[in-house]
Structure 1
Amino acid sequence: MTHEPGRLYPLADDLARLLAPNPSPYTGEGTWVHLIGTDRLAVLDPGPADPDHIAAILAAIAGRPVDAILVTHTHRDHSPGAAPLRAATGAPLWGCAPLVIPGSQEAGFDADYAPDRVLTDGERVALGGTTIEAVHTPGHTSNHLCFAAGERLFSGDHVMGWSTTVVIPPDGHMGDYMKSLAKLQARPETIYHPAHGEPVADPQRLLRGLLTHRVQRERQLLRLVEEQAGDVAALTARAYPALDPRLVRAAEATALAHLITLEERGALSRVGDTWKV
């Protein structure tokens, strides 16, 4: 199913979503903005600061009070729309901590993100007529939060409904990402609403699959280094044959994240740009 940016798609009496106009190989159709509540709302991940997109969110809000704007993490496809939405609604901005990594290869951080309140792991707030819990899930970014509300988990980019998650060092950390997946396995939520892709109706199965995929990729990279030392580009080309050229950067970053985790465990070492056993 192809979705129309700016159109409101109801998911339940107290939940709806609309799509930001930012499709790409990294975002799929775009970023989903979730509206939680009925008479009062919480708006989750408002997306880019595109004026037409902000106008579409305001039309979907339809004059209802907004208790807070929530943000899972500060990549530019998630948080920049929070500032103009806060100005238009008067709602406070709550969510993850600010994060800027000078010199990082990850150029996609929102340096202007300025929350009114940083939510910590396990903190619960009453918003949109329900109780929402912040769940710290570092890995994709160090400041990433998911938000739990009853049986639902709003999983941001940590667990997506269309693709695996990119982990980009130095802020992204594969070991933390895998620990966060295991953390979610211990939680009770039965449906996930990611920021990209469709709702996940069997999250435990997906979590097992994601962890298995990462373990297999780690073992593959270790085997490739054992066969022949090389830099990240060479190892990625061997690990991801026939890769879409648009995704090479993401694949290299995620391979590097795996290699760094293996290095931290003493399984690999590197000399300059070359990884070896």
Structure 2
Amino acid sequence: MAYAIPFVRELEFEYGAVDRLSPLIRRVICRNPGAFTFMGTGTYIIGNGKVAVVDAGPPYQEHVDAILKATEGETITHQLITHTHMDHSPAARLLKEATGAETWGYGPPDGGPEGEKVEEGHDFDFVPDHAIRDGDVIEGDGWTMECVHTPGHTSNHICFGLREEKALFTGDHIMGWSTTIVSPPDGNMAAYFNSLEKLLRREDDEIYYPTHGAPIKDVHDYVRAYRAHRQLRETQIVDVLKDGPKTIPEMVAIMYADVDKKLHRPAGRSVLAHLVHMTGDGRVKAEGGTATSDAVYSV
């Protein structure tokens, strides 16, 4: 069954200002808008008095100062990092220098299935003070976070479940304004599908807070729509290849004909991720037997 993704692209905010979203959650948005960050990185402040910060953001002093202003008179005791892309983790160092707050995160990306060097864009300098894994629980003053490992967008992606409010901080795994980029070798489409299924099994979650964009309600329907979108892309790939063998650029030109050509390169990375998945289970064949950016594909 196909689902249209009910994107939420309206977002009222002011850069540098703090918005109260719930009794335990506040948000400050960084001034780093872009094609992959929407309006910017949304840094969340959890709790009151002794607080945690989720995704400190890029290394912009202006943003760090806004976080410090938003927590004036309070103590930042924890920094939680969903993954190590450059718009999520680098400011944690600046915030630690200012406050002493230690970091919790998965650690460096695992890389591809055979240890290939991961793509640019990662904060390779980030080493968490506390390495976390799936199912770990982090407790603070009046709040409790469950760590949910959700590889796919990156191998080191962690969502954080705030038990007191049945809320899940989804980083880039689920976003309200757009679908998520999955780019090999560290991005893995099979893992991404599995991580979507993991969220569907979490029956208590009532609201998602992505790092980019507005909160998401009706969360399980939203995840099903995300999954259906990915399944549709794989159906499109098979349909395109029925006309004969093709390269990734040839497939992208057909599948993304109505999309700005500036976005065709990242679209190609997403198509490659699907092709790695589909050659792995035998639905598609790659020239030479290996799914690469330069291969020719057929069914």
Please indicate the TM-score interval, normalised by the length of the shorter structure: over 0.9
CA distance in 2, matches of 1:197, 1:228: 40
After TM superposition, list the pairs within 5 Å mapping 1:72-221 onto structure 2.
72-99=82-109, 104=117, 106-150=119-163, 151-187=166-202, 188-221=204-237
Q: Counterpart of 2:3?
A: none
Q: Is the 8 A contact 2:78 2:101 kept in 1?
A: yes
- Structure 1 residue runs of 4 or more that deviate by more than 6 Å after TM superposition: none
Q: Is the 8 A contact 2:153 2:183 kept in 1?
A: yes
Percent of pairs with identical residues: 40
User: What secondary structure sits across from 2:245 in the alignment?
Assistant: coil
Alpha-carbon shift at residue 39 of structure 1 (Å): 1.2
RMSD: 1.5
Q: Deviations over 1:225-261 (max 9, x none)?
A: 1222111111111111121133222211111100110
CA distance in 2, matches of 1:198, 1:60: 19
Alpha-carbon shift at residue 128 of structure 1 (Å): 4.3
Stretches of structure 2 lacking an aligned partner (at least 5 in a row): 1-10, 288-293
Residue identity opposite 1:218 in structure 2? E
1:275 matches 2:297 = yes
TM-score w.r.t. length of structure 1: 0.96
Residue identity opposite 2:295 in structure 1? D
Which has the larger displacement, 256-265 or 95-104? Answer: 95-104
Q: Counterpart of 2:52?
A: 42
Q: Is the 8 A contact 2:57 2:86 kept in 1?
A: yes
Residue identity opposite 2:251 in structure 1? L
The count of aligned residue pairs is: 277
Alpha-carbon shift at residue 104 of structure 1 (Å): 4.9
Residue identity opposite 1:19 in structure 2? I
Alpha-carbon shift at residue 127 of structure 1 (Å): 2.1
Structure scoring higher RCO (CA < 8 A, sep ≥ 6) equals 2
CA distance in 2, matches of 1:48, 1:147: 19
Which has the larger displacement, 105-114 or 12-21? Answer: 105-114
Which has the larger displacement, 204-213 or 99-108? Answer: 99-108
Residue identity opposite 1:115 in structure 2? P
Alpha-carbon shift at residue 63 of structure 1 (Å): 3.4
1:261 matches 2:277 = yes
Q: Is the 8 A contact 2:78 2:102 kept in 1?
A: yes
TM-score w.r.t. length of structure 2: 0.89
Q: Is the 8 A contact 1:147 1:153 kept in 2?
A: yes
